[in-house]
Structures are given as C-alpha cells and as structure tokens.
A and B are shown apart, each in its own frame.
Chain A
Amino acid sequence: MEFKELVVEKLKKNFGESVKEVSDFRNDLSVTIDSNKIIDVAKFLKEDSELEFVMCKDVTAIDWATRKNRFTVVYHVYSYKNNFTLRLKSNITEDPPRIDTVSSIWPSANWYERETFDMYGITFNNHPDLRRMYMPEGFQYHPLRKEFPVLGIPGSLPLPEKI
C-alpha cells in the first residue's frame, strides 16, 4: 500500500468523523480535521510507530475573509522515517478564533504559533509563551488579516517617546 493511503486509512480508522476532508493536489496530501481533535491527531501522528511524523515544519493560517469558518490553521509535518510531508488543516470560526496548541507535542510549533497569533490573532490555548513574534507588544492589529490595509494604519505603531 502506498504511504499516502496508509496515512489516510489510519487517520480515518482512529478518528472517524473528525476527518472532514482529504485532498491530493499536485502530489501534496492534505487532511482536514476537526479543530477539537487537533491534539489527539497530532499525538497520534507523532507516536504511531509506522508514521512517526516527528518534525513540525510549519504552522500558519489562511484568512478566508468571507467564509463561515473564517480561518484555516495549516500544519506541515514531516516524517524522517517515511520521507513524507503531510498537511493538516483545521477550520475555525472567527469569534473567538481559538485552537489548542501543539507545541507540547512538537516543540518547534512554539514560534510558528506565536507568529500565527501575531499575524492572524488566533489564540492557541495552553501555549507556554503566547507573545507577539514580529510586531511590537503595543500593536493593536493583526497584519495578515484581510481587512488590514497593505499601507498600514497611520499612528498604529507606537513610536519612542521624546525625552
């Protein structure tokens, strides 16, 4: 059996209804799962002896602007053993945008989740250190959201005070 089919079959067997959608575009396997199950799925993918997705390459989000589930959180995980990159997706609603952190399972997700929080305002529950990554702490907005203008918002960046 091809490894792709094995991954999908194992996920469907263990998580049944929580696996919402499976797509294979340009040879990239992508699995959409229920946002409540993200921790369980992550743990399973990492610890299953046949899969061993030990490295989290990337965490980011997509802002769909007008959809009912406004944000999609996207994870790219990699298995050294099988030389395979899997894309996990999870749709979440706009208010409040929340999802559990996977940084306890993949420590590298720590900074990626901070970055996603900074850029999209998605709160990662139980994250050990959810600070902004790039923007200053006093900044009010989340720049990669679609409503944020490319030119920026005048006066939104706090400047150093005159001494």
Chain B
Amino acid sequence: MELRSNIYSDEKLLKKLLEDKDITIEDALENEMVINMGPQHPATHGVLRLVLRLDGETVISAVPELGYLHRGYEKMAEEMSYIEFIPHTDRLDYTATMCNNVAYVLAVEKLLGIEAPKRAQYIRMMVAELSRLAAHMVAIGTYAMDVGAVTMVMWTFREREKIQEIFDRLAGARFTTSYTRIGGVASDADSVTLKMVRDFLDQFHNALDEMDKLLLSNKIFIDRLEGIGVLSKEDAIALGVTGPNLRASGVQYDVRRAKPYLFYNEMDFNIPTYTEGDCLARYWLRGDEVRESVKILYQILDKMPQGEILANDPKHTLAHKTEIYTKMEELIHDFMIINHGINPPVGDVFFSAENPKGELGFYIVSNGSGHPWKMKIRSPSFCNLQAIAKLCKGAMISDVIAIIGSLDPVMGEADK
C-alpha cells in the first residue's frame, strides 16, 4: 500500500483517512487510491474539498476539509456595530440573502427587546419566502445539473431571475440585498412590487409543473438518486442535520412551526416530510417546500397590513434619510447611533430561523457597548456537511456528486 504522502503534506489528515478501518466491502483493498476532490471542483458547490480513499470506484472513507472560504465574519462582527454587520449577512448563504438578513435583525431585536411593526414583519416574511424559492431554485437546478440533467438549471434560473427582479425593485440590489434594518425594513413594498410578486406566483405553478415533467420522465435522474446516500432518522438527529435534509429523513421539525417567529403562526402551511432519507427524497422535499412557500406567499399578499415599516424607537432604529436631513431630533439620534451604536443590554441571546438550508442561528453576547462582544453564527450548511463522511462511505465515486448535491451546502455559510 503505497500512498503518495508527499503530495498530501497534511499528515494529520492522512492519518485520519487511514485509521478508518470500518471497511464496507469484503475484499481486501486491491486498488487503493487516495484522491483529492475539490476545492476547485464544479460539483462541490463552492470550495469544498473532499479527500476520498477509494478501492476501485468504491469510497472507503471520506474526509471533508473546510475553510477555503473562511473570511472570519465572527471576528469582524466583534469590531463592527450591529448595523454595520447587516451587509455581511448577505455573504453567508449567498443563494438566500434575504433569509439571512431577516434572521440577523430578528436576533438583534430579540437582544434589544424591540419588535418591528406588523407591516414590516409581513414584508420580511414575504422576502424570506421569496428568497427561499430562489434558493431552492438554485438547489434543484444545480443538483439536476450535477447528475447530468443540464437543461434543468436553465429553467430554474429563469424563475430565479424573476425573483431577483422583485428584489431589485424592493431593495435596490438583485443579489446582495441588505434589505432589513434593525426595527424594520429599508423601504416599503409599494403596490407595483406586490403586483410583481403576485404575477410571479401566478405563472410559477406552471413552471413548477413543467420542471417536474422534465425530471419525472428522466429515468437516468431517478436511477442515479433512488436509494443513494440514505440518512436514517437517528443519524440525522445525532449529526445535527437540519432543514430539508432532516425532514427528508422523517423528522417533522421546522423552526417556523416549532418556534414561530414573524407571523408564521398565522399562516396555514404544511411541513412536508419523507421517510426514505435518500437523495431522491431530498429532491422531492425541496419541490414540496417550494409549493408550500407559494401557499404562504399568497396568504401574505392577501393579509398584508397597512402601516409603518420602521419601529418608532429612536434610540435603536435609524430614521429615514429624508428625516435626518430635515429634522434636528433625528439628526442627533442618527449621530449617536452611528458613532456610539445601539448599546443593547448586557446579556446573550440565541435566535434561530428556518433558512432554505436549515436552521440558521445567531448567538450574540453583548457587554452593553455598541458592538457585540461575541457573535457566533450557527450555519446550517456546516452542520449538514458533517453527514457527508457517513453518507459517502461505501458509495460509488459518482454517487458522491449526487450526495453533495442533495445535501445542498453553500460554502459561504459553512466557512463563514
């Protein structure tokens, strides 16, 4: 057994790879090989590196290596005011920027003990669900592309583009939205925007059915996913997997239902679950979730209340620029908030929200000053990736691609 250890100078990693004696195949290792998948591999959804130990085409053990996109957001947050950090949440899960924005400001609001007005919360809920659609469109499209159905990604990105047009109008940016503010949202959703959302939803049903037809009649797609990468219910819980991947394994856990935030308790929606826990179930589940999100979005549009979009709390929320330029009181508060921060009380809170990838949590420790003493981001992709080593064991090397795609990690979030 000759491993070219000079290539893998990382000795600890190699040791970890070799000590895995739990070999799933009966034969002695005949064609042992260590290959390095990623970090620059198109099917790893970013810069995920997997070191695989193979016998022929069978994976004996896999060791994921993270950190190629580590930007140190937790460190940077300690040097920033609470407001300054909002744009950085865009860069966590960059497929669902709005969801991150919403989760972050809700965490800070929990720490401050304030609440945004009802209309602002409804708008937040709307953008979060739209963002969930956009993220699932990426997930489904790239997943299908990974396993060979390349057309799919064109269709899903066509739909995603329409969502981004809505964000463009609402937030002024398609991708890096930074839309939410502490105590509300940046700009009101006018009637044109709401109509754009409704028009989008009206045609989205057909698009979804088309996509289903495209993949359901594709025998190769089904064959490549069915029964691959089975994650049992017990393993999913033990490994801390959340989100669609957990629900595909048969646990009915959704933060929107378990710990309702915003106004999700007023919404009527189901939590789809599957019991198979394989790659195909994870695909179905995302499709079902998209349909539930559409249901929620229609309800939001019907119930959208009138009113303010920023809380009337001058010590904690930044006033609108036009007011700052014309009113003395607002100018003073703006000066104080920008220079000294919003100074939440001493204490620590953990707030988590249901993101497209799973449960995104923010743990914020405040010492009463304008910037957090510590901020921990509990990112769902990081936890979901922990299951990869288990799922890949005993799989073929082509299944590894399907497994990564089905877990749908976003490295911006996993590496922070």
Same assembly? yes
Chain A residues within CB distance 8 Å of chain B? 25-26, 28, 30, 54-58, 60, 62-63, 74, 76, 80, 83, 85, 87, 106-108, 110-111, 115, 119, 129, 131-137, 143-144, 148, 150
Answer whether A76 and B349 are a contact pair too, CB < 8 Å, given A54-B237, A134-B70, A144-B74. Answer: no
Residues of chain B within 8 A (CB-CB) of A58 are: 350, 361, 363, 376, 378
Partner of A108, one of B78, B240, B253, B352: B240
Partner of A143, one of B72, B79, B240, B361: B72
- B110 is an interface residue with CB less than 8 A from chain A: yes
| CB–CB A150/B79 < 8 A | yes
Identify the closest chain B residue to A55 (Cβ). Answer: B237
| CB–CB A134/B67 < 8 A | yes
In the assembled complex, the CB of B64 is this many whole angstroms from the nearest CB of chain A, namely 9
12 further contact pairs, Cβ within 8 A, besides A28-B350, A85-B352: A26-B113, A55-B238, A56-B240, A57-B359, A106-B240, A108-B238, A108-B240, A132-B67, A134-B67, A143-B75, A148-B75, A150-B79
Rounded to whole angstroms, the CA-CA distance of A114 and B373 in the bound complex is: 21
Partner of A28, one of B10, B349, B378, B382: B349
B345-366 residues at the A interface, CB under 8 angstroms:
347-350, 352, 359, 361, 363, 365
Q: Which 10 A-B pairs have CB atoms at the shortest separation, nearest pair first?
A: A108-B240, A134-B67, A134-B70, A25-B347, A60-B376, A58-B378, A107-B238, A62-B374, A26-B349, A111-B386
| CB–CB B365/A62 < 8 A | yes
Answer whether A25 and B75 are a contact pair too, CB < 8 Å, given A56-B240, A57-B240, A60-B376. Answer: no
| Residue in B10, B72, B78, B359 with the greatest tally of chain A CB atoms within 10 Å | B72
| CB–CB A80/B253 < 8 A | yes
| CB–CB A135/B67 < 8 A | yes
Rounded to whole angstroms, the CA-CA distance of A55 and B383 in the bound complex is: 12
Identify the closest chain B residue to A80 (Cβ). Answer: B253
Residues of chain B within 8 A (CB-CB) of A85 are: 259, 350, 352
Secondary structure at the B interface, as helix, strand, loop or mixed, is mixed
- B251 is an interface residue with CB less than 8 A from chain A: yes
What does the 1/0 interface line of B361-385 toward A look like (CB < 8 Å)? 1010100000001101010001100
- B12 is an interface residue with CB less than 8 A from chain A: yes
In the assembled complex, the CB of A15 is this many whole angstroms from the nearest CB of chain B, namely 22
Partner of A133, one of B66, B240, B359: B66
B373-405 residues at the A interface, CB under 8 angstroms:
373-374, 376, 378, 382-383, 386
Rounded to whole angstroms, the CA-CA distance of A121 and B299 in the bound complex is: 49
Identify the closest chain B residue to A116 (Cβ). Answer: B376
| CB–CB B110/A26 < 8 A | yes
Identify the closest chain A residue to B16 (Cβ). Answer: A129
| CB–CB B111/A108 < 8 A | no
Rounded to whole angstroms, the CA-CA distance of A161 and B68 in the bound complex is: 18
In the assembled complex, the CB of A83 is this many whole angstroms from the nearest CB of chain B, namely 5
- B415 is an interface residue with CB less than 8 A from chain A: yes
Identify the closest chain B residue to A87 (Cβ). Answer: B350
Partner of B383, one of A25, A111, A132, A144: A111
Residues of chain A within 8 A (CB-CB) of B67 are: 132-136
- B13 is an interface residue with CB less than 8 A from chain A: yes
Rounded to whole angstroms, the CA-CA distance of A46 and B373 in the bound complex is: 30
- B258 is an interface residue with CB less than 8 A from chain A: yes
| CB–CB B383/A76 < 8 A | no
Residues of chain A within 8 A (CB-CB) of B79 are: 150
Residues of chain A within 8 A (CB-CB) of B75 are: 143-144, 148, 150
- B239 is an interface residue with CB less than 8 A from chain A: yes
Residues of chain A within 8 A (CB-CB) of B10 are: 137
Residues of chain A within 8 A (CB-CB) of B365 are: 62
Residues of chain B within 8 A (CB-CB) of A133 are: 66-67
Residues of chain A within 8 A (CB-CB) of B350 are: 28, 58, 76, 85, 87
Rounded to whole angstroms, the CA-CA distance of A131 and B15 in the bound complex is: 11
In the assembled complex, the CB of B218 is this many whole angstroms from the nearest CB of chain A, namely 35
What does the 1/0 interface line of B12-28 toward A look like (CB < 8 Å)? 11001000000000000
Answer whether A57 and B378 are a contact pair too, CB < 8 Å, given A80-B253, A85-B350. Answer: yes
Residues of chain A within 8 A (CB-CB) of B359 are: 57
What does the 1/0 interface line of B65-93 toward A look like (CB < 8 Å)? 01100101011101100000000000000
Identify the closest chain B residue to A129 (Cβ). Answer: B16
Identify the closest chain B residue to A115 (Cβ). Answer: B382
In the assembled complex, the CB of B20 is this many whole angstroms from the nearest CB of chain A, namely 10
Identify the closest chain A residue to B416 (Cβ). Answer: A134
Answer whether A55 and B361 are a contact pair too, CB < 8 Å, given A26-B349, A129-B16. Answer: no
| CB–CB A30/B348 < 8 A | yes
Rounded to whole angstroms, the CA-CA distance of A74 and B365 in the bound complex is: 11
| CB–CB A26/B347 < 8 A | yes
Rounded to whole angstroms, the CA-CA distance of A43 and B238 in the bound complex is: 14
| CB–CB B12/A74 < 8 A | no
| CB–CB B378/A108 < 8 A | no
Residues of chain A within 8 A (CB-CB) of B383 are: 108, 111
The contact sample of 13 A-B pairs, CB cut-off 8 A, is A58-B376, A60-B376, A62-B365, A80-B237, A80-B251, A83-B258, A133-B67, A134-B416, A135-B67, A136-B67, A137-B10, A150-B75, A150-B76
